[in-house]
A and B are shown apart, each in its own frame.
Chain A
């Protein structure tokens, strides 16, 4: 293969400037992992538009030395998961808020705060590990930056069946906040947990969550990214999925000048399941909306199933990006891989950019993907209107049904209902 392209001066300068603006945490059990991440970041440099996986999303505001300010949205809506009994862990502009959080003890869980974890911890062998593995074959410099520079986060060990979900609530209070959070979730064999996430987090928000699933473990993840308009976020989920384990993740994105959600799922065991889904709705009328899902699912085990279901509804010049890959390694026979990405463009200015990939090195597999883009179906719209449903309501109904396949990936009916309510409210305001 060709020698790696020499790093451009710009890339090196940007990386140096970003690092100079940071105060890197010192000491503690994460020190070796942080040093390793820093070295990797310096070798690869922060991303630029010239990188293959940043072709459709400009990373400049994510890599700049300082965060651009983002107005705080005064949210009139009740908390999205307010009706669900859950354990709340609150971060304000990226800093753990003990007073606002619940007591961190719950049967089947061990929760500690990254910032106070000390020198010895069960998470020592895990911190930065899945992130480092997730750098091959595609570099994810912002994740390496996260491992090197994260200032807070939670370390969750799941030892049994947990009675209620854990919610990570991210409040954005300061217009100039620039937060980096790193979470670990280690789920013991046969244990089971649901993690909820909600809120914008900060003006600029970089999160990474490493999820290690033991055999027959299950992980349910439902995330609602806050509806602040000016915020910019890059999120990473790295998962290692053992035999017969189940990983399911769903994300709802409403508003946001820039959102890049990366999911890197490594199915290492046999008979495992990995689903990742997303619904994004954006109206770029007054503030830009750019939403990017970049998903990489690797099948190394046999008899595994993976699904990627991504739906985007775009309005007034909004941009939706989907880059998804199913990689089936040699020997990963009986793989069932599925991927769908669809965009509904509500007007002529919005755009959908997609790169749905399959890379397959085993023969006894069933893999497929589909991608479509288009406007609302005029015939269906007319049919509804001919039955007396007003235009906006008819559009909302069709948009919701379009998003339905993604929402259907949420197993818990109560949570799915909370997501649908939030979407309906957004559609009522925007259509």
Chain B
């Protein structure tokens, strides 16, 4: 196993980066210091596994491991039975071998989590090492590891973190401070136990149990995930963040996130994902549901950096994700920002249902596919309410032998009068062995709405590369710089700290793509 020991965790205080000017020097410097897949270590922690394969018994087992009430067990079983009748979708431009759903573990949990540790010394040191490698600062590590009383000694940067390690949420930080504001931020299993009225009311209402093959599978077997509730007229006092990590071998990860933004509330939510290098492909099928009531606003940012597999396409994560926001309330607003650099297979379409009048949806995406990676990603903007607005900015980069597809739907229903959509999809090709594809669906059923779609495909500009190189950059640095410039509009949409991480990822992801 590759286990880099001398990786510097990113600093606690993010340096003030001039992301707006395109690309900063630091990116270029960082590129030189990075390994090819920074997060490619695994942690040898004793795990509790459920037996391989999927059956009603496994579904019940997962439910009972989480101490779930009967109604939740039933909900899962319903989903499982529905799933048995569904066929795996194959319409995406993705080519991968048949997945054996019986050859997966559906539940794994670190043994050390069975009891809550009292202090940092009691925490499994390997778990702490994992967090360190994830770049989570020490004090937050204590919080994450669940050390009691740790919250009081934490100061400085305020990002509350919920970490999901394999299938289980291992800890959530800043809970007390958030609770003061009335914000609930906890694992979904805890929410099912502690806030059943909210979970019952909203779970499965944005992504129904039988929505699609992968979401249905998730509904049956999701083992944990994050839950957020922001009460009316509340601006969440800090950014919320979830780190997902797949660690155990042969383990599918199926986390489920539910965010409820009540009337007039605001929250910015960050999601990061990593996984170790494995020769065997691993399955990840997550569901994120966001409910927005009147005047609520949610920003959801993702930096997805699952292991992409090696240069020959061996291993990597198969990432099948259903993310959807339901702008139920008038004037509500959701913004999806994603930087997709990892995974062998990406199948992901974060969507917006613009139900409320004057509601808004935005989707900003960078998808990078290098080597043998395949990505089929985009969004759906479904305009149902009057005066609704949506904006799509997608930047796809293909290199090596990768295939990168933007797939999107913009739908203006007859009653969505005076609505607007603007879509810009740009693809960049690096090298002659890759592919870049654009598959938009545009359905306009009223004439007071205006829909505009533009897409371009081109190669990395030789003149720009030459200009950079004539100023002393090597080819990879030059490509990183130019590509970061190409992605600028999306990078700007990310929270500052994420933007920095994303810039570095863009550079790392393209290593070996030139020369």
Q: Using a CB–CB distance below 8 Å, which chain A residues touch chain B?
A: 1-2, 52, 330-331, 333, 343, 345-375
Contact = CB atoms under 8 A, between A and B. Distances in A.
26 contacts: A2-B88, A330-B432, A333-B432, A351-B443, A353-B443, A354-B442, A356-B438, A356-B440, A357-B437, A357-B439, A357-B440, A359-B435, A360-B427, A360-B429, A361-B434, A361-B435, A363-B430, A366-B456, A367-B457, A367-B458, A368-B454, A368-B457, A371-B440, A371-B451, A371-B453, A374-B451
Nearest to A377: B450
Contacts of B439: 355, 357
Given A333-B432, A363-B432, A373 B451 contact: yes
B441 A1 contact: no
A370 B442 contact: no
A344 to B, nearest CB: 8
A1 B90 contact: yes
Contact of A358 (B433, B434, B442, B457): B457
Interface in B428-487: 429-459
A364 B412 CA distance: 35
B432 A375 contact: no
A353 B453 CA distance: 13
Contacts of A365: 429, 457-459
A372 B432 contact: no
A2 to B, nearest CB: 4
A48 to B, nearest CB: 16
Interface string B267-308: 000000000000000000000000000000000000000000
Nearest to B89: A2
A292 B437 CA distance: 23
Contacts of A373: 412, 442, 444, 449-451
Contact of B417 (A346, A348, A357, A370): A348
Interface in B395-441: 412, 414, 417, 427, 429-441
Chain A at the B interface: SS class:
strand
Nearest to A363: B429
B206 to A, nearest CB: 25
B71 interface: no
Nearest to B449: A374
Given A363-B432, A363-B434, A368 B456 contact: yes
Given A353-B442, A365-B457, 8 more contacts: A345-B446, A345-B447, A351-B443, A351-B445, A354-B441, A364-B459, A370-B452, A373-B451
B95 interface: yes
A375 B448 contact: yes
A372 B452 contact: yes
A363 B479 CA distance: 15
B362 to A, nearest CB: 19
Contact of B453 (A52, A350, A361, A370): A370
B444 A343 contact: yes
B442 A374 contact: no
A274 to B, nearest CB: 18
Contact of A372 (B95, B440, B446, B450): B450
A1 B454 CA distance: 31
B476 to A, nearest CB: 17
Contacts of A331: 432
A331 B446 CA distance: 42
Among A352, A357, A373, find the residue whose CB has the most chain B CB atoms closer than 10 A.
A373
Contacts of B436: 358, 360
B414 A348 contact: yes
Contact of A371 (B88, B442, B448, B449): B442
Contact of A375 (B427, B447, B452, B453): B447
B417 A366 contact: no
Nearest to A337: B457
Given A360-B436, A373-B450, A375-B447, A352 B457 contact: no
Contacts of B442: 352-356, 371, 373
Nearest to A345: B447
Contacts of A350: 447
Contacts of A52: 91
B427 A362 contact: no
A348 B454 contact: no
Contacts of A375: 447-448, 450
Contacts of B432: 330-331, 333, 362-364
A263 B447 CA distance: 28
A3 B441 CA distance: 25
Interface string B34-77: 00000000000000000000000000000000000000000000
Contacts of B95: 1
Nearest to B98: A2
A368 B449 contact: no
A346 B452 contact: no
A137 to B, nearest CB: 11
A351 B438 contact: no
A371 B392 CA distance: 14
Contacts of A330: 432-433
Contacts of B438: 356-359, 369
B422 to A, nearest CB: 10
Contacts of A359: 93, 435, 437-438
The 4 closest A-B CB pairs, nearest first, are A345-B447, A363-B429, A374-B450, A358-B438
Contacts of B433: 330
A357 B439 CA distance: 5
B179 to A, nearest CB: 48
B214 to A, nearest CB: 15
Contacts of A369: 438, 453-455
B447 A363 contact: no
A350 B414 CA distance: 9
Contacts of A349: 414
B455 A358 contact: yes
Contacts of A370: 452-455
Contacts of B451: 371-374
Contacts of A357: 437-440
A391 to B, nearest CB: 16
B432, B442, B449, B454: residue with the most chain A Cβ atoms closer than 10 Å: B442
